[in-house]
Amino acid sequence: MERIDVKPANGKLGVLCVGLGAVTSTFMVGTLMARKGLAQPIGSLSQLAKIRVGKGSHKEYKKIKDVVSLASLDDIVFGAWDIFEDNAYESALHAEVLKFKDIEPVKDELMAIKPMKAVFDHNYVKKLSGTNVKEGKNRWDLMEQVRADIRNFKAENGCDRIVVIWAASTEIYVPMADEHKSLASLEKAMKEDNRAVISPSMCYAYAAIAEGCPFIMGAPNLCVDIPAMWEFSKKNNVPIAGKDFKTGQTMMKTVLAPALKTRMLGLRGWFSTNILGNRDGEVLDDPDNFKTKEVSKLSVIETILDGEEYPELYKDIYHKVRINYYPPRNDDKEGWDNLDIFGWMGYPMQIKVDFLCKDSILAAPLLLDLVLFSDLAKRAGMSGIQTWLSFYLKSPMHDFEHKPIHDLSEQFAMLKNKLRELGGYEADQEID
């Protein structure tokens, strides 16, 4: 087997986060606390998980960070953009996800993380307004300002490499247009300031790819899920991943739906509803923004439970998703699922799930893994869509020739196989 040449993770890794709200501040606090030995990075495969390498008498179970060369937590330098001027310490306190005692030990480091001015268009997120916003003559100009931010941050902090990750709000639903289908047409639309098809998130993605930095889309925004960005990322040899962090309810769907299929149990309907009260909940209270999230959430069941392959079980599934803004819960999200299933001779049964979770607590380790693995991919010379990172994403990116894989166990096998390859071992798990 030909070994993949992976450059070592030498020097500092800059992690630039778009959005400095609940998810990002929780990610930063946890990472800073973990590197001081004051907290455990629970939920992070890159830090805690072991995988098998080798077979038979040669098999071993090693921590992932001992199989592949990953950036050390000590080498991470954080930066951010946000429409609000609060530094990371103020943001963490305001989010009310973490207790004061878990924030205070890293107060100085957090206070030093002051957000850069953000690219913002109120039409894309009508529920929010902020003052820490860039001014520019068009989308292209705003993108160039983000490129300058990346270069300046890298120089000022002595970083060898940068990863950019979107952890900001869900934008309004934007269908794919002709302007998204080639790099030339995308660039033309940016320079012509076609705001209807060029979202703020596209400015960040383009800037990151132009600067050679891996970009991760953590919301269901269209953004990098278009041919123009695939073309650009291949051209510049940059890894991209997306979209939408897979945290609570969808994680459960990617476990339960494959379980039904494995047992050949039928499904008539799946009703999902959520209540959450953080900034994400407020944004999703707008129907245009909810539409973006709904499309992402709805795709999971239909992809796993193939109605054409098994029409007697899954042909006419009624799938409904609701998200309700409920301020008293803040970041404590609650997801209810009702599954109307049927078994032997068509007899009906039900499954009910009530998942009370903390959205940012589930998301933070995903950000850490996605950042470290995207940096690994870049050092390994990989580019374009990183399908092996589908494990972390609600609506995994794919091109027009392939179907996304939503089954969590299959996604996990893909992830482990790629890590084995990058560590110089054989990729030996079959993906059906």
The tens digit of pLDDT for each residue in 129-166 reads 999 999 999 999 999 999 999 999 999 999 999 999 99
pLDDT of residue 47: 98
Domain map of the chain by residue range? 12-245+361-422, 249-357
- Would you state the structure tokens that stand for residue 389, as one six-digit string? 């990172």
Confidence of residue 60 (pLDDT cuts 50, 70, 90): very high
Instruction: Tell me how far CA of residue 225 lies from CA of 57, 93, 127, 415, in angstroms.
Output: 43, 34, 24, 20
Residues 297-350: tens digit of each pLDDT: 667 888 899 899 999 999 999 999 998 988 998 888 899 999 999 999 999 999
Q: What is the mean pLDDT of residues 354-373?
A: 96
User: In one letter, which amino acid is 157?
Assistant: N
Whose structure tokens read 């890590």? Answer: 419
Q: Give the residue from 4, 50, 61, 1 showing the smallest Cα distance to 418.
A: 4
pLDDT of residue 296: 65
Dihedral sign for Cα 291, 296, 301, 305, please: positive
CB–CB of 324/282 below 8 Å?
no
Q: Is the model's pLDDT at 1 over the cut of 70?
A: no
Q: Is the model's pLDDT at 428 over the cut of 90?
A: no
Helix or strand or coil: residue 46? helix
Query: d(Cα 175, Cα 197) in Å, to the nearest integer?
Result: 8
For the chain, give the mean pLDDT.
Answer: 94
- Pairing between strand 215-217 and 239-242? parallel
CB–CB of 295/220 below 8 Å?
yes
Q: What is the mean pLDDT of residues 24-46?
A: 98
User: In one letter, which amino acid is 305?
Assistant: L
**424: DSSP letter:** T
Q: When comparing pLDDT for 392 and 58, which is higher?
A: 392
Q: Return all residues near 255 (Cβ < 8 A) that are at least 6 apart.
A: 408
pLDDT of residue 108: 98
Confidence of residue 85 (pLDDT cuts 50, 70, 90): very high
Query: d(Cα 209, Cα 310) in Å, to the nearest integer?
Result: 41
Q: Is the model's pLDDT at 82 over the cut of 80?
A: yes
pLDDT of residue 432: 58
Instruction: Tell me how far CA of residue 333 lies from CA of 172, 306, 319, 360, 424, in angstroms.
Output: 21, 30, 20, 9, 41
pLDDT of residue 286: 73
Query: d(Cα 132, Cα 249) in Å, to the nearest integer?
Result: 33
User: Is the domain 249-357 a CATH 3.90.550.10 member?
Assistant: no
In sequence order, what are the beta bridge partners of 337? 272, 353
CATH superfamily membership of 12-245+361-422: NAD(P)-binding Rossmann-like Domain (3.40.50.720)
Query: d(Cα 56, Cα 71) in Å, to the nearest integer?
Result: 31
